[in-house]
Amino acid sequence: MMTTTDSHTNAAPAEKVFVIGLSKTGTTTMKDMLTTLGYRVRGPSKTLLAKIRAGHPEAALPVMEEYDAFEDWPWPLVYRQAHDIYGDRARFILTVRRDEDTWFRSIEQHGYGTGLTKSMKDAYGYYRPFGRKAEFTKLYRDHNAAARAFFADKPHLFTEFCLEQGDSWDKLCPFLGHPVPTDMPTPHRNKTARGKRALNRKLNALIAPIYARLP
């Protein structure tokens, strides 16, 4: 049974929570933590991502009303619109890795284990990360810098969260206005599994040089 401490909590829990870090930054773990706190969490949507990339961010609005919290693509793309709508009723969490090289290795490993999909291109501008380290890490840096700049004058609405640096319930819960669990370990999801998607990994490793030439 989860027990809590009421120290350092806000007056009222956040109504909406937007996880605005890019994929492979701990977004699935964050989903588990938010679910534990009672939020109805909406994860990634390839369809919605394609609509937003096509110039229709308003497509996200009905989904924002239906759920309490949001993580992974396309939600890193619409934090400005979400702030315009919800203002102080929302909180924004920029999930990050310890450094950009660690993040890129994770994206690359994910790419080796999956088939070719349009959603990667919609998210990052390329079908595959192979041979595109400079482009992907620039996108990572630019996205994080833009989020920090946008919330620079709204620090009460924004926090960064890095599992690798030990961030856990004691950082998340006060930020969202919830008691801190005293006997709940931080979940860790999507760690690379040995042998996972072995066939895709072998095929992608063979044709990675071809992917590097794709637009």
Task: Characterize the bridge pairing of strands 4-5 and 180-181.
Answer: antiparallel
Domain boundaries, the chain: 7-211
DSSP 8-state secondary structure symbol assigned to residue 43 = -
pLDDT in the model for residue 1: 30
State pLDDT tens for residues 180-201.
988 777 776 665 544 444 545 5
Name residues of the chain where pLDDT drops below 70.
1-11, 188-215
β-strand partners of 91: 17
Gap between the terminal Cα atoms of the chain = 51
CA atoms within 13 A on the CB side of 202: 5
pLDDT in the model for residue 182: 80
pLDDT in the model for residue 176: 98
Entry field: residues in the chain: 215
Contacts of 53 (CB under 8 A, 6+ apart): 74, 77, 122
The per-residue DSSP string of 33-100 comes to HHHHTT--EE---HHHHHHHHTT-GGGGHHHHHH-SEE-STTGGG-HHHHHHHHGGGEEEEEE--SSH
Class of domain 7-211: alpha beta
Distance CA 70, CA 137 (A): 23
pLDDT in the model for residue 199: 45
Helix (H, G, I), strand (E, B) or coil at 5: strand
Say which amino acid occupies 5. T
pLDDT in the model for residue 189: 61
